[in-house]
Structure 1
Amino acid sequence: MGCESLPEGCIATILSRTTPRDTCILSLVSRTFYSASQSDAVWASFLPSDYISIFSRSVSHSSFLASSPSNKSIYLALSHRPIIIDHATMSFHLERKSGKRCYMLAARALTIIWGDGNTPHYWKWTTLPDSRFPEVAQLVNVCWLEIHGVINTSPLTPNTHYAAYFVFKMIDPEGLRYPVRLSVDISFRQSTVKEVYLYPNLDGWHVDNRMRGLQLPNVRSDGWLEIEMREFFNSGLVDDEVHMSITGTEGSWKRGLVIEGIEVRPKEAN
C-alpha cells in the first residue's frame, strides 16, 4: 500500500511534521497529496505562534488579517519579503524553505556613538530608495567608529544555528581601508572578537602581512553589503541576550559608511 492511498487527513498530519519546502515537493506526488498540502492545518504548523502579534506591530501589514486569508497565504506573506515592525526599528520575515525566524535591527535600533542626531557633522540620518527602512545612518566624519546592537534570543527559532550579519554600503568612502573589530557576546558569557575589512575590494592596496586573509564583505541579493559577525546556537532553553558591536579606531577620519542594520538569520538559510 502506497502513501498516496492514505486518508487525506492522515497525509496532512504527516506533512505538518515536515517543512514548507518538503510540503511543496510532496504536493507533486498525487492529487491527494496536493489537496492535503493546501490544508490550513498543515500551514498553521509552519506559522509562528505569535504571528497575529507580529502583524499588529506593522503599520503596512496591520490590516492584512482582516480579509481572513488562508494560513498558506499568511505564510507566503511572511516569507515573501521582510515586514517592518516596532515603529520601523526592526524587520521580520520567515526563511521560506524552513519557516525559521529572521530579524534585522534597523540602524535606528542600534547605539551609534555620536549618531543620536544631535551631531549631524558626525552622522546624519537620511533615506535611500533601496533600504527596507525609512531611515539609514550615514557616516559624515568620525575618527572613532563604534556601533552596538542587542537582540534577545526568545523570539528566535529554537534548536537553530543563527548568525549575525552587519549590513551596510559605501558612498564615497574615505578612511575605511583599515580593519574593524566585530564583537559578539552571548549574555556576556561567550565572547568572540575578530578583525575584518568592511571595504569589499582591496585590489591595489598595500595590506600589512598581519591583515592578509581577513574576511571581506559579500554582496547581498538586495545590493547591500554584509559581513558575518558570528554564528551561535539558540537552544531555546535559555533566554539570552546577544550583544553585537562594530569598532574601528585605526587610521584617520572616516566617512561614507551607510548602515542598514544588523541581521540575525538562520545559518542554514545561507
Structure 2
Amino acid sequence: MKLKAVAASTNKSSQGFLEHKRKKTWIDNKSGCHCFMLYASDDNIEVAKLSHVCWLDVRGKFKISDLSPGIVYQVAYVVKLTKGASGWELPITLRLSLPGEEVQDRQVSLLEKPRGEWIELNVGNFLTDGRQTREVCFDIYQHGGHWKNGLIIKGAILRPKDNLTP
C-alpha cells in the first residue's frame, strides 16, 4: 500500500516524492468492515503542502485483499486549501482505477471549496471481491495550466460507502 505525490515546476525537472509509510486502521462499528487512512508523509507533520507548482500528480494504491469482501468501498482524498490558495481556476481530475482496467474519472473545481478547513474529495466507489488479489489505484492530477499553491494533502481514506466518519 502506497501514497505518492509528485509535483514539478516548468523551470526545472525537480520532483518530490512522498512514499507512504504511515496508516491508520480501524474496524467500522456499524458495518464491522476494515477502514484505512493512508497518510501523505511518514514524518511528524503527516501532510504534504504544494507550493508553486504547474502540475499536480498524487497517486495511491491499495491491495483489495486487505479490505472486507463484498462491500462497496469509497475512496476519498482528505485535503485543505489555505486561505491564500491560488491558481485553481481549472478543475482537477480524480481517477479511480480498478483491476480489469475499469476507470472512473471525475473533475472537481477547487474554486468553490471552502478555505482553511479539511474537506474530502470523493474519488469513487468500488465493490470488493474476496478473491481479488490486485490493487485499486486512486489519483488526483492536473497537468499544465496555471501556477498553483496552497493545497495541503493529509492522505486518502478507504471505508465502506455508508460510513462517513473516519
- Compute the TM-score of the two structures, normalised by the length of structure 2: 0.77
| Larger CA Rg, structure 1 vs 2 | 1
Matched residue SS, 1:239: coil
CA spacing shift, 1:104–1:199, aligned 2, 3 Å: farther
CA spacing shift, 1:258–1:188, aligned 2, 3 Å: farther
1:255 aligns with 2:149: yes
Higher relative contact order, chain-length normalized (CA < 8 Å, sep 6+)? 2
In 2: Cα distance, 1:108 partner to 1:152 partner:
19
In 1: Cα distance, 2:110 partner to 2:121 partner:
8
The Cα shift of 1:187 comes to 2.6
- In structure 2, the residue matched to 1:89 is 22
* RMSD of aligned residue pairs (Cα, Å): 2.3
The Cα shift of 1:162 comes to 0.3
Q: Which runs of 4+ in 1 moved over 2 A?
A: 198-201
Do the aligned residues in 2 keep the contact of 1:167 with 1:261 (CA within 8 Å)?
Answer: yes
The Cα shift of 1:244 comes to 0.8
Report the number of matched residues: 143
In 2: Cα distance, 1:193 partner to 1:260 partner:
21
In 2: Cα distance, 1:242 partner to 1:159 partner:
15
Deviations 1:120-139 (A, max 9, x none): xxxxx8x6xxxxxx421101
- In structure 2, the residue matched to 1:269 is 163
> Among 99, 108, 118, which residue is 2:32 paired with?
99
Alignment of 1:116-265 (within 5 A): 134-171=45-82, 172-187=84-99, 189-201=101-113, 224-265=118-159
The Cα shift of 1:88 comes to 5.5
The Cα shift of 1:256 comes to 0.2
The Cα shift of 1:141 comes to 0.9
In 2: Cα distance, 1:188 partner to 1:182 partner:
19
Do the aligned residues in 2 keep the contact of 1:175 with 1:252 (CA within 8 Å)?
Answer: yes
Matched residue SS, 1:269: coil
CA spacing shift, 1:161–1:177, aligned 2, 3 Å: same
Do the aligned residues in 2 keep the contact of 1:164 with 1:229 (CA within 8 Å)?
Answer: yes
In 1: Cα distance, 2:81 partner to 2:40 partner:
15
Deviations 1:4-35 (A, max 9, x none): xxxxxxxxxxxxxxxxxxxxxxxxxxxxxxxx
The Cα shift of 1:188 comes to 5.3
Listed as ranges, the gaps of 5+ residues in structure 1 are 1-86, 110-124, 128-133, 202-216, 218-222
Q: Identify the structure with the greater helix proportion.
A: 1
The Cα shift of 1:250 comes to 4.9
The Cα shift of 1:252 comes to 1.0
Listed as ranges, the gaps of 5+ residues in structure 2 are 1-19
Do the aligned residues in 2 keep the contact of 1:178 with 1:250 (CA within 8 Å)?
Answer: no
Greater Cα shift, 227-236 or 93-102:
93-102
In 2: Cα distance, 1:182 partner to 1:106 partner:
18
- Compute the TM-score of the two structures, normalised by the length of structure 1: 0.49
CA spacing shift, 1:188–1:89, aligned 2, 3 Å: farther
The Cα shift of 1:155 comes to 1.1
In 2: Cα distance, 1:150 partner to 1:188 partner:
15
The Cα shift of 1:268 comes to 2.1
Matched residue type, 2:54: C
